[in-house]
């Protein structure tokens, strides 16, 4: 089955028409991702088309849509030409839009596909409110909001909003002054229980993944922590990235930024049920490389020959260039290899790096000994290897001899 639909019409809240995209790959696994954009967002923002391509390449169907009252129009789906609709939008309407999309999916397919939901920011909140929806199998929150009530003005500002009927917020991308009708708050008060994200999370039985950027200033990391706590799950924090995971509008590149790629991979692994294995393998590889980088930096200078050695090791481990540079800049959690054979190989890499410039300083030797202990290697064996390296050309202990040393001290 292969299906590509772009800018097709659906009827959302208040019978208002909006646009959606649907892509089904030729080798479809029967699972469909519904993507919900965020506040002042739309389906074609930034990297969202690349996100769609990522999942369809991995055999998932993908549908994304413009919320019916997001301010876009049929004629111009990427700008906000309909500020009147934007001003009248509310969270209940966005729930109704989601329902309209699931109804559309039921009509589109002879057999209802398995539904997985991704929501970004405000869309993350809408996705979490689907936890009791029997059509939804899994949910992923990308930088999702934890509270709808917190989105509204408080105190004096709330009173002024009620008196004036509208408050306004500037759109940083378009420069427009975006109106917000007080009816948005009235809708919230009328449906407060239905819009209580905390309650839905605490009562959820739907498998849910929560991902948040470490440096998110639009929806603070604390909100992701709250969501994960209510769901009693682990929060996946993407280090050094912000609200849109380093993507922006317009995005003129053919590839996603590294942070967003990581988010997509975590989400894919979760959908496929392989998140633990995939995540641990990647973390282990980055940790291995990070140990080598720390060794290279131990004398406060990374020489060109050391850098090239590290780059070659990264290639052997299957680490991308972006991740390679990321390891140089960020602190990576220590994740030792599970198998002793792999720990011994890593120990050998450390020795090779230490000697690549034919200079082995005290700091480097101490660092290697410490890493050996942290990896759980026998300290007498590691000391023996460090002593014997001086007996060999280029100070490289042959692999066979290396294994014999560790085997001897482990008996």
Q: What's the pLDDT band for 357 if we cut at 50, 70, 90?
A: low
Least confident residue range of 167-171, 216-220, 354-358? 354-358
Instruction: Report which secondary-structure segment, H or E, holds 346.
Output: helix 340-355
pLDDT over 90 (residue 247)? yes
pLDDT over 90 (residue 71)? yes
Residue 43 shares a structural domain with residue 191: yes
Q: Which domain holds residue 173?
A: 3-273
* pLDDT for the residue numbered 84: 97
* pLDDT for the residue numbered 306: 85
Share above pLDDT 70 across residues of the chain, in percent, rounded to a whole number: 96
Closest to 118 in 3D by CA, of 159, 163, 61: 61
Model pLDDT for residues 304-333, shown as the tens digit of each residue:
888 888 888 888 888 888 788 878 776 676
Q: What's the pTM?
A: 0.71
Residue 263 shares a structural domain with residue 125: yes
pLDDT over 70 (residue 387)? yes
* pLDDT for the residue numbered 230: 96
- Picking from 232, 254, 273, the residue at the C-terminal end of a domain is 273
Tell me what the pLDDT averaged over the chain comes to: 91
Distances (CA, A) of 245 to 37, 121, 190, 216, 241: 14, 11, 34, 9, 5
Which range of 217-221, 232-236, 344-348 scores highest in mean pLDDT? It is 217-221
Beta carbons within 8 Å of 323's beta carbon, 6+ residues apart: 258, 286, 314
Question: In the beta sheet, which residues pair with residue 211?
Answer: 142, 236
Work out the angle at residue 33's Cα, subtended by the Cα atoms of residues 208 and 220, and round it to the nearest 5 degrees.
50
Residue 285 shares a structural domain with residue 327: yes
Residue 152 shares a structural domain with residue 294: no
- For the record, the structure tokens of 75 come out as 């004629």
pLDDT over 70 (residue 74)? yes
* pLDDT for the residue numbered 179: 98
Residue 82 shares a structural domain with residue 99: yes
Residue 238 shares a structural domain with residue 182: yes
Residue 203 shares a structural domain with residue 115: yes
Q: How many domains does the chain have?
A: 2
Closest to 228 in 3D by CA, of 205, 244, 209: 209
* pLDDT for the residue numbered 379: 87
């Amino acid at each position: 089955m292969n299906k590509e639909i772009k800018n097709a019409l659906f009827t959302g809240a208040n019978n208002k028409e909006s646009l959606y995209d649907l892509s089904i790959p030729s080798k479809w696994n029967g699972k469909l991702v519904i993507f919900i954009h965020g506040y002042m967002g739309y389906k074609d923002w930034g990297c969202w088309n690349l996100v769609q391509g990522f999942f369809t390449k991995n055999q998932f169907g993908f549908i994304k849509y413009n919320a019916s009252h997001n301010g876009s129009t049929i004629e111009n789906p990427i700008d906000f030409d309909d500020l009147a609709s934007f001003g009248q939008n509310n969270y209940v309407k966005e729930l109704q839009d989601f329902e309209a999309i699931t109804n559309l999916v039921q009509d589109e397919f002879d057999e209802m596909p398995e539904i997985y939901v991704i929501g970004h920011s405000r869309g993350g909140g809408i996705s979490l409110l689907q936890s009791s929806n029997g059509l939804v199998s899994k949910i992923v929150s990308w930088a999702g909001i934890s509270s709808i009530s917190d989105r509204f003005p408080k105190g004096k500002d709330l009173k002024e909003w009620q008196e004036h009927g509208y408050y306004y917020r500037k759109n940083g991308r378009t420069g427009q002054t975006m109106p917000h009708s007080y009816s948005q708050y009235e809708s919230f008060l009328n449906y407060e229980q239905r819009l209580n994200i905390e309650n839905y999370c605490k009562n959820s039985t739907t498998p849910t993944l929560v991902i948040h950027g470490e440096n998110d200033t639009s929806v603070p990391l604390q909100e992701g922590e709250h969501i994960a706590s209510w769901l009693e799950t682990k929060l996946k924090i993407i280090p050094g990235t912000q609200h849109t995971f380093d993507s922006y509008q317009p995005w003129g590149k053919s590839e996603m930024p590294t942070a967003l790629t990581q988010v997509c991979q975590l989400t894919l692994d979760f959908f496929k049920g392989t998140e633990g294995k995939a995540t641990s393998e990647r973390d282990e590889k980055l940790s291995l490389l990070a140990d080598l980088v720390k060794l290279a930096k131990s004398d406060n200078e990374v020489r060109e020959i050391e850098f090239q050695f590290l780059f070659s090791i990264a290639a052997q481990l299957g680490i991308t260039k972006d991740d390679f540079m990321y390891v140089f800049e960020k602190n990576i959690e220590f994740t030792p290899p599970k198998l002793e054979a792999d720990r011994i190989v890593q120990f050998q890499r450390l020795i090779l790096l230490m000697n690549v410039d034919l200079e082995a300083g005290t700091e480097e030797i101490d660092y290697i000994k410490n890493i050996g202990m942290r990896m759980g290697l026998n300290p007498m064996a590691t000391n023996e290897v460090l002593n014997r390296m001086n007996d060999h050309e280029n100070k490289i202990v042959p692999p066979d001899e290396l294994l014999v040393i560790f085997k001897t001290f482990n008996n």
